[in-house]
Every structure is written in C-alpha cells, then in structure tokens.
Amino acid sequence: LGVSLALAIFAAAFSDLLDDARHDRTIDALTGTLNRHGLEEAIATRLKNPAWPTSVVLCDVDHFKRINDGHGHDVGDAVLKEIGSILRHAARKNDLVGRFGGEEFLVLLSDADLQKATQCAERLRLAVASHEFPLLSDSGSVTASFGVAECRPGEAWESLFKRADICLYAAKHAGRNRTIAG
C-alpha cells in the first residue's frame, strides 16, 4: 500500500513537472501570451483543420524604441506586459494571442472573415490607444499599428503571414496607429 501511494504521488509530481515544462515552452514569460514557439504549434494545429474563414492580425507597438530609449527597458517591458494583457482581454475567447517577437504580437482568429477580423483589429487598436500606461511620464499613451489578412483556401501559413505583414507595414508608413487590411 505504501509503495502504491508513493508511486501515485511520484506520478502526480512528474505530471505537474511536465505541465510546467510544457507551459514554459509555449508561454511568453513577460506578456503571458503564447510565445513564438507556442504560436507556431497552435497555428499548425488550427490550420490542419481550419474553421473557415480564418484570419490573422499582426500588431506592432508604435515607436517602441523611443519608449525603451526614453524610459528604460524596464518600462518597455511593463508596456509590453500591459499590451499583452489588453490584447488577451480584448480578443475573442477562442482567438490565439501571442507575442511573435520584440514588440510584435499576432492574433489568429478562427471563424472571422476579413471584415470581422478588421473590426476585431480596430477594437484591439482602440483598446491599446485608450489605455493609460502609468509608468510613462509624458503622455502615458501608447499606440499600435495593425495589419490584417484572411486565409485563402489552401494558402500556406507563410503566405498568409506575409500578406498581413505587408498590411502592417502599410499601416506604419501611412502614419501609424491605424489598421490596414488586405
């Protein structure tokens, strides 16, 4: 009986360690969103049997280098953490939200055509722009630019991402703090 109990406790502890390792491997420690690895795994799974339509939203924090240079990297990290929280809470329940790299975030929307995805991106953009970031001594505001693309039937992930990225850079070049879909 004692050996069986010890094995059961060991198995439960080992299972917890595996869950923690899996969590650490897929979650961005700073923002609490999926990290790039977690996003890529989840996207691959979702695109195997996609719920149509499927769209992607890319978000890039405007003038983030100015935040880091003017306020320090600790404040920049706090801004990224808050933006991660804003995006997670403003996105729909089944949307995937992750930090793709640096100050860039990605949201994968299942069952959202280009129009719905653009509306979602605008909701996210306004949520970021209206949020007050208390650690910023100047205006306390941060904006972000968004690029949106809808997956075409049979389209590879790389192509979908590239189209959203082109839209994101168009938003940046058009003056930032805007959403462009294509």
Active site residue 103: yes
Enter the tokens of residue 64.
Answer: 């983030």
Q: How many other β-carbons are positioned within 10 Å of the β-carbon of residue 51?
A: 11
Q: Is the dihedral of CA 166, 118, 123, 160 positive or negative?
A: negative
- Residue 40 CA, chain-centre distance (Å), reads 12
User: 36, 98 in Cβ contact below 8 A?
Assistant: yes
Q: Is the dihedral of CA 71, 74, 80, 84 positive or negative?
A: negative
Interatomic CA distance for residues 7 and 3, integer angstroms: 6
The closest of 106, 107, 127 to 177, measured between CA atoms, is: 127
Interatomic CA distance for residues 164 and 34, integer angstroms: 19
Give CA angle at 40 (38, 46), nearest 5°. Answer: 100
Q: Which of 41, 103, 155, 158 is catalytic?
A: 103
- Catalytic residue set: 103
